[in-house]
Structure 1
Amino acid sequence: MNTRYKITRLDEEGNPTLSLEECQSFFATKSDFEYHDSFGASQDGVHMKIKGHFFMWQLENVKIPFRFFEGEIYVAVSHPVVLEKTMEIARLLEANYVEG
Structure 2
Amino acid sequence: MSQRYRITRAFQERDHDNSAQAITLEECKQYFDSKPDFTYTTVFTITGSTTVSIEGDFFMWRCGDESIPFRHYQGDIYVSGANEAVIPKMMEVAGELGADVAEG
State whether TM-score is above 0.5.
yes
Unaligned 5+ runs, structure 1: none
Of 87, 96, 102, the match for 1:98 = 102
Match of residue 63 from structure 1: 67
Unaligned 5+ runs, structure 2: none
Query: Matched residue pairs, number?
Result: 99
SS in 2 for 1:31: coil
Q: 1:3: how far off?
A: 0.6
- Identify, as 1 or 2, the structure richer in strand: 1
Write the mapping of 1:1-100 to structure 2, written as runs, cut at 5 A: 1-10=1-10, 12=14, 13-15=18-20, 17-44=22-49, 46-100=50-104
Deviates more, 1:8-17 or 1:85-94: 8-17
Q: 1:43: how far off?
A: 1.5
Deviates more, 1:28-37 or 1:72-81: 72-81
Hey, what's the Cα distance between the residues in 2 that align with 1:26 and 1:90?
Answer: 11
Report the residue type matching 1:39 in the other structure. Answer: F
TM-score (norm 1): 0.93
What are the superposed Cα offsets for residues 15-44 of structure 1, whole Å, 9 maximum, x if unpaired? 451100000000000000000011001121
Deviates more, 1:1-10 or 1:89-98: 1-10
